[in-house]
Amino acid sequence: MARGVDAVEQQSRSSIHFQRAVEPQPAPGSADLGIRVRSAIRRVQDFLLAAQAEDGHWCAELEGDSILESEYVLLMHYLGRTDEAKVGKAAAYLRKKQMPEGGWSQYPGGPPDVSASVKAYFVLKLLGDEPEAPHMERARRAILELGGIESTNSFTKLYLSIFGVYEWEKAPAVPPELLFFPKWFPFNLYEMSSWSRAIVVPLSVIWALRPQCEVPDHALLDELHATGAPRKARPAVGGERGRAWASFFLLVDWMFKAFERVGLRPLRRAALRRAERWILERLEKSDGLGAIFPPIVNTILALDCLGYSREDPIFKRQVAELEKLEIEEEDTLRVQPCLSPVWDTSLVLNALAESDFPGDHPACERATEWLLSKEVVEPGDWRVKNPQGPIGGWYFEYANEFYPDCDDTAEVLTALARVRLTGRVGRRSREAADRGLAWLLAMQNRDGGWASFDRDCDRQFLTYIPFADHNAMIDPSSADITGRVLEALSLYGFGRSSPEVRRAVDYLLAAQEPDGSWFGRWGCNYIYGTWLALQGLAAIGEDPASEWGWRAVEWLEGCQNSDGGWGELPASYDDPNSKGKGPSTAAQTAWAVLGLIAAGREGSDAVRRGAEHLVATQREDGSWRDVHWTGTGFPKVFYLRYHYYAVYFPLLALGTYARLAERRLRPEQGPRLVS
């Protein structure tokens, strides 16, 4: 390649270290703050070193909402395992997560969600909680106020149909014949996002074969049917065009159901065989289908529908993959949506590198070797929309060969560039980075941005399909991933003159909101998107003194809390008026500090106060803990708490702040952070 790993040596140590015409003056007390920052850095470095696995990787808990535990218990009931102790522990966890008002929310501090509440109520009733118990009465009232069972989302209705507490006819159609739609057809399997197709293909088997799992009479949900019209969980958007598409897909849904009623399904057997082959192919080199909870559960149900014995090695392996997601404690059990080792490991490496941790340290070498072992070497689903693209990249989990993603690949590339090992590992690292870089460039969308798993997966009309109400049917470009990719490219010799960069910059500048912020797709929310957009633009050589940079700075500084930190709740996905508002968190404070530094404000009072907040809130063991969730799965639908977000992002911010402060104050005496 004309530009590759060899160009790394020509770059500055950090992608956000660009020249400025005027150096800001240190604020009063900066020297004392610098000492405390360096102490905080050493402590969090020690925390991370102690947490590193023997093989070199890091992986912290990834926390999701109560739907995970509810669906887990329902699957255990389907498999005849309700009497197991861990099922009772999952129920105890559900009771613990119930809101005082009665429902269950998508995130701490959020409003009750009707789908999560109905599933939790059903599970507790199934396991014997009396309907007259106070917590069940509160739950029932909350559900009816939200519109009752009729207001749940499509996936909830399909799951409830399996257990006979909802009618299959009222649930949306998910026919397996969808797999026969050709790739040139506007609506086909590969125009869905990767996670949606992994959910939908096994779900189509379930819909077609309609398994029935009896529940006792005491578990029926007749009392959850609200009177009057069901409440819409999310009102239809898109104006006349959106309503037209919604009406069209409702007609298609009605037609599929009509064909089903009269038995007109000549391709059904062939469609089921194709769905089965599709699923089995993607179980190779994977921790379950898509390596995420919903497809794994759907696959177990689909295999059972297809007649697989529960002693079949394929079936048993999928159950085992589900069990890997369990976190069992003395009294409770919770379930992770997936595992995040590649993501955590690459982010830890970047944070260590930015905090002057030596790249040749054995911990960095072990982590690099582990990441190299997770490189994708075979084509996956992404190849359908990118048939000529080279093979490379990295995925998120321990094993998910079919689904590398641009976000992880960019972060790994950045880590490999910053660590810069020599010898055998260094040589392997450079070769893998060249392959990953080629794959990443080939995944750029026609609009100039980068998405997650696929290229040009952005047909908005598909979001009006009845079973698409999980708000994740497509995978369009996002500002946060595009900013992260630009940062990675800057470390491999790419600059403003590169055509790929120019298109990405144009995309980011067009995506900026009028108030100066950027939307955050994979982190909550505008603070995340604004940080990564600023970081990418500055890294690639765009001048943050431009109008776009000042607008972003004004927005970030304008939403700083009185305690010096920043916070933003997932509510901002539903209500833009709440953007940038929320209790301070360590992760979001770090993002804001990094964004302001990228925009040339490292000497500002806002950045100093942000660093002060991080130092003041660090825990004794060197870590931080965020009660409020800062990760995003599907906006408006599913949120996450990455337990290490409150560890490596503060380290990244403090490390960057410390080196820039030392350069201003006493560059000749910059102390080593690690002996």
Any catalytic annotation for residue 6? Answer: no
**Alpha-carbon separation of residue 399 from 373, 403, 634 (angstroms):** 10, 9, 22
Give yes or no for a contact between 342 and 404, defined as CB atoms under 8 angstroms apart: no
Residues 6+ apart with CB under 8 A from 341: 57, 58, 59, 374, 397, 398
Residues 6+ apart with CB under 8 A from 600: 20, 538, 544, 545, 549
| Token digits of residue 482 | 């595009």
Coil, helix or strand at residue 72: helix
Burial (CB < 10 A; 0-12, 13-18, 19+), residue 55, is exposed
Q: Which of 457, 413, 595, 374 is nearest to 8 (CA)?
A: 413
Separation of alpha carbons 49 and 46, rounded Å: 5
| Token digits of residue 196 | 């949606």
Coil, helix or strand at residue 567: coil
**Alpha-carbon separation of residue 479 from 104, 518, 575, 624, 668 (angstroms):** 31, 7, 19, 27, 38
What's the N-to-C CA distance of the chain in angstroms?
38
The single residue of 113, 253, 407, 475 carrying the catalytic annotation is 407
- Torsions phi, psi for 149 (to 5 deg): -60, -30
Cα angle 563, 564, 568 (rounded to 5 degrees) comes to 90
- Torsions phi, psi for 452 (to 5 deg): -90, -70
Name the DSSP class of 110. P
Question: What are the catalytic residues?
Answer: 407
